[in-house]
Amino acid sequence: MYKRIYPKQDGRILYLYGLEPHTSPALEEGENLGQPQSHARWHPLRQEWVVYAASRQGRTFLPPKEFDPLAPSQPGGFPTEIPFQNFEIAVFQNRWPSLSPKAGEPLEGLAVPTRDAHGDCEVVVFTPEYSGSLGSLPPKRRELLVQVWADRYKELYARPNIQYVMPFENRGEAIGVTLHHPHGQIYAYPWVPPILQKEVAAFREKPVLTELLPNLGPYVVLEDEHTLACIPPYARYPYEVWVFPKHFHPGPWTFGEAQVKSFAAILGQTVQKLDRLFERPMPYIMALHAAPKGEEAHFHFHVEFYPALRTADKLKYLAGTEIAAGTFAMDALPEETAKALREVEL
């Protein structure tokens, strides 16, 4: 894997990853929007930090294809976020971040405790093409993406203030995406978010995922020698899929070549199955759950997919019991949804 680091004119950093060295000259860049401002406020009942970034209200929203900000730039054309005519995978600091190294200081005089939001938010562009998915990427490109995630984990965790890093993908208008171009994001938090705190506690107690392996037969969707994809027996969404290595890894940064190939293949096939289940692109949230800083000895890396469809034409909406109480109510059995997804032909 080759990596080119390009400082943008507005101070943000662009990383160009590829299987070949990237040497193209840069083109014209877009306007400078100034420094982002955000801060966090403590929620006393939920015992968690809430981030406020008012500048995000004006971020780009579903632009037409000719103004795609994640496309390669062209001479004399619309200046995109990537001022080059070609690339394989591009990563850059978000123009409208919730967390930023330059977020500024928290507000004073509020009725609740505040703190800084000094983290980072990156955009990961999977392909220069306007359309596509993790399922349609060539195998080598998916493997490169896994290596990119591993590299971003290592670089972001090397910063003293970063405590947790989460790559994720929001896919589909039903999920609320603001750009159609295939891409994901990476949030680097200066604290460990509450859901991950619970996962840390569970993994400290016992190896939850490896203990599940002998009993996952009815729930397996895909597997090979190194990686397994299943609908967990405690799924909270009808077609929720988890992908994880069969042997312990705290994150993809500990993968060898065989694990990279396996994980990339199973990840792509999972998306292919989700898309073919109802013969339409499945809207979903996909999140990588790797070890927070200092928890590498027992936290088992895994990926969680939260698909938004419960049938071909019905969305899974979160209702009162789920949003207000945090107790999910399922109307589909994991044993049945796993069987349906397993039987989808690739």
181 is catalytic: no
Give, in degrees to the nearest 5, the angle at Cα 258 between 252 and 263: 50
Instruction: Identify the three-state secondary structure at position 300.
Output: coil
**Side chain identity at 309, as an amino acid letter?**
L
Strand order in the sheet with 114-116: 48-52, 39-43, 114-116
263: nearest Cα among 277, 275, 246: 246
Distances (CA, A) of 182 to 68, 117, 129, 212, 311: 11, 27, 8, 33, 24
180: nearest Cα among 321, 336, 71: 71
Per-residue b or e along 273-295, where b marks 16 or more CB atoms closer than 10 Å to that residue's CB = bbbebbeebbbbbbbbbbbbeeb
Name the active-site residue from 183, 226, 300, 302: 183
Active site residues per annotation: 183
